Structure 1
Amino acid sequence: MRAVAYDRYGSLDVLTARDLPDPKVGPSELLVEVRTAGVNPVDWKLMSGGLDPMMEATFPIVPGWDVAGVVRATGPDTPEFEVGDEVLAYARKDWVHGGTFAELVTVPVRAAARKPADLSWAAAGALPLTGLTALRTLRALRVGEGDTVLIHGAAGGVGRIAVQLARLLGATVIGTASAANHDRLRALGATPVTYGDGLVGRVRDLAPDGVSAVADFVGGVLDDTLAVLGEGGRHASVADPSVEQHGGHWIWVRPDGTELQWLADVAGRGDIVVDIADTYALDQVASVFERSQEGHVAGKLVIVVSEDG
């Protein structure tokens, strides 16, 4: 199969497009022919060795954890899916090795969901990690009808999904973003506030008694979070584990096919929108990593692996 891989940790120059053996399909696994694969910052952070203290790695490493594609083979004990099924998955495994920036990838059946017919291949490939991160955070915060939620980083990839899900769950949403993204947040149903100095006052003007919950998708905002929480308020962060020392939840999203199916169905109905900033070919992974590293991408970046994607 054709894939992009690296043989050692490093920067963009370690990436090469090459031919690799087709993956073996083990018990409770699906072999998926990749149509699209979403790009996330964790992909190039892994490449730099940033998660090496946490996760075992076997080189060569094919990056990528998001995937949408077609089942081409099933391993033993996979009654949930058949050859030909269209699926999406957050395909993170227990160690770093065979990722989704390839023509073929194996996916644990526990991580897979069926792709709705009305969900585009690009959106399906972009949804898993950001969507599951947003949903897991809101679940941890028990967000529901009548809550007022502050979302730090509301204009980012995870933040935009979280805004839409929180609104869907019945919450009022305040979202931090630069002024350039305020109209985008208003269109999603959130009240935007500019981040930075004076944030606490701006949030308190909108919620004098404090907010019910805070979802942090940027890090470095713990003091502001604690200052705007109302009595009994809950908070969680995907970027700052120190929140656990202050009664908060540190979120590390896990593959979950059941939760992903719920998200995919919601997106397939059009109740949430997955913004696609741009698409790239498989041999352009270095370019898309470079763009992702620049930050401030308005939407998801997606690798289109096959012409059907």
Structure 2
Amino acid sequence: MKYVNFLKNLSIVAAAAVSTTVALGGQSAASAFTVTQNNNPNDLLNSLLGSNTSGLSGFTVTTTGNANAFGLFNNDPFGLGSGVVLSTGNVVDVIGPNDTSSKTTSYGTPGDTPGSFDLAQLDISFFADNTVSNVFFEYVFGSEEFLEYAGSQFNDSFELLLNGTNLALLANGNFVTINNLANSPSGPFNPAYINNTGNATQLDGYTTNLTFQGAVNKNAVNTLSIKIKDVGDSVLDSAVLLKGGSISVVPPKTTPEPASLIGILGLGAFGITSLRKRKQQAAVKA
């Protein structure tokens, strides 16, 4: 384990050294995408509440994690529009160009499970009356762990828990984690995975727009816990973007997939350095 972590950290230092010489080509294409650090609970809640929240009331919000791990975004490249972003690092680093495969802000804080770190958590409690059956949510998960560390112990995860049950699920029923989206650097890949070959975001890979649906407890207080965390170490950032206005009691309209879906076809050109190959071999032996 220590050897694997050493190689991972070494590859990050090497990538950072290389990235300083890379021109910021494509920056103008990403300039419309903005992220602003903001961990004010009321601002985050106001961004997430939709127009179809009839029957929901008494909202309270709390945050857990570093202040720089929370923020608001606009004009994202994923088709969400605007909303809230949570990260295991600095949220402003989600913006492109994708000029390094190892963007990291390591807070070194413990997570909520053994072996997890840098937890960013947003808890929203609300009362649901007897007219409400379900609540809905839209989001995109992405990470710098793709694709080099897919299939390893560095299995960063995103959770949407309604009253303690994680309902952040892929179409096959699996939870939203690195390894459930990409089984290894060469696949197989979940259909929801998109490889980033563009410059709009720093994230090396991300999901299609995903929808959360959960049955509420009627005439009772419900709690929605939104969590993202590093797993295995606190290195390499993962992030989730939550669509603004998407907390709703009616299903969202279908959102078209980003044009960058074709990026998964370019995996052969993506490239993995010999150092990362050595790291993967070490991970298999660990």
The structure where helix makes up a greater share of residues is 1
Which range, TM-score by smaller chain? under 0.3
TM-score by length of 1: 0.24
Max Rg structure: 1
